[in-house]
Structure 1
Amino acid sequence: MKPLLSSLIRFCQKELDKGRYTQPSCKRWQPLLSFIGGLIAISCLGIISNLSNYSLLVAPFGASTVLLFAAPNSPLAQPRNLVFGNLTGAISAVLCVFLIGTSPLASGIAVGLAIALGQAFRCLHPPAGAVALLGVLLKASPIFILIPVLSGSLILLVIAFCFHRLQKREQSYPLHWL
């Protein structure tokens, strides 16, 4: 067992030394700032959800929040990707529910369509797959596209924009709008 473990350690060390992949690093206070940004964003969505009696897709927006506050320089976190990516997921869900129903096949097609549309329109946003899946599971109607998906995406965008503007950073969010 010991030789196997030491071989595994040597292999891992060689891979790390190659520099093929390194975990992203962050500045000392970034985890705390990311926590605060996520707390504010999801809390605001929750309050608005309670006031409006509309569920604001906490799971996909939670994933979007990770991108917006922990990796704001990622191409997948830019406004075009956030808003249009989530819209492609919502549209995919509504179309699949209308044309196919709510079967597992419809869920798969909705997610696949969200990915394909995100790539085709250069607005790929990984949480859009969760939007598509959740939309099918919730039997989304056309209003789902506007409320909660578009409204929630725009609210997240405004919060992220304001939050990052308040910080004194070398490069502020967003890197580009479109």
Structure 2
Amino acid sequence: MASSRPHPLTALHASGFAVGALLLLVGVGVLLGEPLLIPPLAASAALVHGAPGLPISQPRNLVGGHLLAALIGFAVLAVTGRSTWGAAVAGGLALGATLLTHLSHSPAAATAVVVVLQGPGLAPFLPLLVLATLLLVAIGALHGRLGGSAVRYPLSW
């Protein structure tokens, strides 16, 4: 059974807040001189604003899933170096680890892939990732409080 389409105004609100959240990540990244916008975070923003009621959209899963996946990415990077083979392994291991720890957040698997492919430094990357995910949660909560979302976000922490 196909789900019903959202009201056009709901879709407009979700899109506007997602764009705003991602632009905020870009702006903070520019101010810090470090990129905060990585592709997996765009997918996270889509979940927070497009499907705020799903368990994978909740803050615990979003923040915890990305952090766990990044740590797995760094572990795989240490073993394989920057390689597409290692990135594939990291993505799969991140999926399994997030499922086992009840931190399932599908975009997080891509965070592990990004870590292995780009090889960022652990010390700058992890705090920036935490900052970025917390900003996504904050903008999602603002969206939910302003009534632009069909579901109040977050439903749980």
For normalisation by structure 2, the TM-score amounts to: 0.92
Alignment of 1:17-166 (within 5 A): 21-143=1-123, 144-147=125-128, 149-166=129-146
1:157, distance to aligned residue in structure 2 (A) = 0.7
Q: Which runs of 4+ in 1 moved over 2 A?
A: 168-171
CA contact (8 A) 1:42 1:58 kept: no
What are the superposed Cα offsets for residues 98-142 of structure 1, whole Å, 9 maximum, x if unpaired?
122112221112101110111011011111011111111111322
Shifted more, 152-161 versus 96-105: the winner is 96-105
| Rounded Cα–Cα distance in structure 1 between residues aligned with 2:25 and 2:4 | 28
Q: Which runs of 5+ in 2 are unaligned?
A: none
Q: Which runs of 5+ in 1 are unaligned?
A: 1-20
Larger Rg: 1
Aligned residue for 2:65, secondary structure, equals helix
2:8 & 2:65 partners in 1: Cα distance? 31
Q: Is the 8 A contact 1:93 1:140 kept in 2?
A: no
* Distance (Å, rounded) in 2 between the aligned partners of 1:167 and 1:30: 10
Amino acid at match of 2:126: I
Alignment deviations for residues 52-98 of structure 1 (CA, whole Å, 9 cap, x no partner)? 01111331111001101111111110111100011112111111111
Structure with more contact order per residue of length (Cα contacts < 8 Å, sep ≥ 6): 2
Among all aligned residue pairs of Structure 1 and Structure 2, give the percentage whose two residues are the same amino acid: 29
For 1:42 and 1:24, how far apart are their aligned partners in 2?
27
Aligned residue pairs, count: 156
- Give the Cα–Cα distance (whole angstroms) in 2 for the partners of residues 123 and 24 of structure 1: 28
TM-fit CA distance, 1:23: 3.4
